[in-house]
Homo-oligomer: A and B are copies of this chain.
Amino acid sequence: MYRTNTCGELNLKHAGAEVTLSGWVQRSRDLGGMTFIDLRDRYGITQLVFNMEADDALCKEARKLGRECVIQAVGRVRERSNKNLKIPTGEIEIEVNSLKVLNASILPPFTIEDETDGGDDLRMKFRYLDLRRNPMKNNMELRHRMAMEIRNYMDGQGFIEIETPAMIKSTPEGARDFVVPSRINPGQFYALPQSPQIFKQLLMIAGYDKYFQIVKCFRDEDLRADRQPEFTQIDCEMSFAGQDDVLNAFEGLTKHLFLRIKNMTFNGPFPRITFNDAMDRYGTDKPDIRFGMELTEITEYTRGRNFNVFDDAEYVGCICAENCASFSRKQIDQLTGFVKKPQIGARGLVYVKYNKDGTIKSSVDKFYDEAAIRKWIELSDGRPGDLLLILAGERVSTQGALSELRLEMGRQLGLINKDDYAPLWVIDFPLFEWDEETGRFYAKHHPFTSPKTEDISLLDTDPASVCANAYDLVINGVEIGGGSVRIHDKSLQQKMFEKLGFTDEQANEQFGFLMEAFRYGAPPHAGVAFGFDRWVAVFAGCYSIRDVIAFPKNNSGRDLMIDSPSALAPEQLKELRLKIDNRE
């Protein structure tokens, strides 16, 4: 038996008890005739004490133990003279009478403390050491706790978790698939699922009216901080359900998680705003509504004053930063620099200072008289002391830039409380998205999303204006999940594929089995999928999903710890009937 107790549970009630503990040496210090060792395991830290006077040999042995050594110590619990009330075990210590080194440790490449000196690459390469740190451990435990709460809540609501296959079929629509060559079907490949979308729809057709699954999904795309080639989705689908049923069901889940994980309650339903409103008011379809500073469009009040930048712009809009009229030239220049960064993409920033004394100062004074500028202020609900920040250009990209500027101002002004959570639903997304590059429509959500019934007639005449039964859950500016009411009618699905530029043959080859399934009594159904990694990251207060994944890959899709991907043995390639094509 390696231990009678963990390092996180002993307290004064155990005083006098003989115990055995096992764990890692967190740190040790020698004070005169005494040696103190903080012994760590998953549950906490317990102080071991060795007394030179009582056992000279044992104490000397203890002094040899380096950080991260794994030891087993037997001893008696006693009250500590110098108590540490910050930790549950801080009132006691163990007077050790025997010690065993279970495994030694060489010096770790970085410090295993809450704040570490290890860089990203080093932490990834020695991930098993990084995972020993409290912040990582807390994230892993949070992730587990959230998964448990999700499953128990969904189960309690009558949902059934069904595993869908991980080796499916490649479809060129959407993001790139990872593929898996089949050895027993030479020249053929499976694909790893980007989502279980089609399978969950087939489960609805199979009659499992409330399905969920916490499931790995895969997407071969270029990576960034919140993307990983493999990620985890909370995948859900309901039959005989419309948009409200889904929103209500998963608002229930969301509130449950907030209650059980963050001890937060929300009164009344989450706000629901349409995609168009979100764009107009926040410049983004994933608004952070923890603070105001909404966008105001002033396009029509800027025309005809010979200021070409505004005259030529499809859209002129602003945000009103409270009490910022006193911003210095340098501060304004910094904001101008911010919006001109390539990833923001504005060409310049116009400001209006509505000074405390009621006077006005603007960078476009010479084009606009005071009345005109006061109109902008009025439209933005500006008060004396406020600063208007104005961007102009193509509508969507300028709204996007204003959104980024709004978030930047929110951060600078301390308007964003990181302990505050503001969930909302964004609804009524457009069905299609036009792609300039390929000159065709793509499905904004996916090709199985249904148009609003009243818009079906627009499919042929004005596809861009067709509204979808699609919705997203957004928390603090992060898209946590999204879904839609699905098409369950074969002819409508066919029409949808046609609008997306599929030939009948392509549609049949790729999705024929789904359309065939629609012929055997497909019920109306709708669903949603949440990004589990992102949700955990939002609850953990982490910027990157990497911090909530035990063994993530880096931006080149590499696992630095196991050094993967890697070359295959020639016999493996031969068995798979594959050759590497090195030509460009």
Contacts and interface: CB of A to CB of B under 8 A. Distances in A.
- Decide if the interface of chain A is mainly helix, strand, loop or mixed: loop
Contacts of A439: none
Interface in A542-584: 549-551, 553, 556-559, 561-569, 572-582
B179 A162 contact: no
Given A176-B183, A513-B561, A565-B169, A521 B208 contact: no
Given A42-B210, A169-B566, A189-B567, 15 more contacts: A69-B521, A103-B488, A103-B521, A144-B162, A162-B550, A163-B216, A163-B232, A163-B550, A164-B551, A168-B559, A176-B183, A185-B556, A513-B563, A573-B581, A579-B581
Contacts of A489: 103
Contacts of A70: 521-523
B207 A42 contact: yes
A472 interface: no
A210 B520 CA distance: 47
A352 interface: no
Interface of A: 1-3, 22, 24, 40-42, 68-70, 102-106, 108, 126-129, 131-132, 137, 140-141, 143-144, 147-148, 151-152, 155, 160-170, 172, 176-192, 198-199, 202-203, 205-210, 216, 218, 220, 222, 229-230, 232, 240-242, 245, 488-489, 513, 517-524, 549-551, 553, 556-559, 561-569, 572-582
Contacts of A105: 519-521
Contacts of A41: 207, 209
A569 to B, nearest CB: 6
B68 A128 contact: no
Contacts of A578: 578-581
A202 B128 contact: yes
Contacts of A207: 24, 40-42, 131-132, 137
Contacts of A103: 488-489, 518, 521-524
Given A137-B207, A169-B562, A187 B582 contact: yes
25 contacts: A2-B524, A3-B240, A22-B240, A24-B207, A41-B207, A42-B208, A68-B520, A103-B521, A103-B524, A144-B160, A144-B161, A163-B216, A165-B551, A166-B216, A166-B230, A167-B229, A167-B565, A169-B565, A176-B575, A179-B572, A179-B576, A189-B567, A513-B561, A578-B580, A578-B581
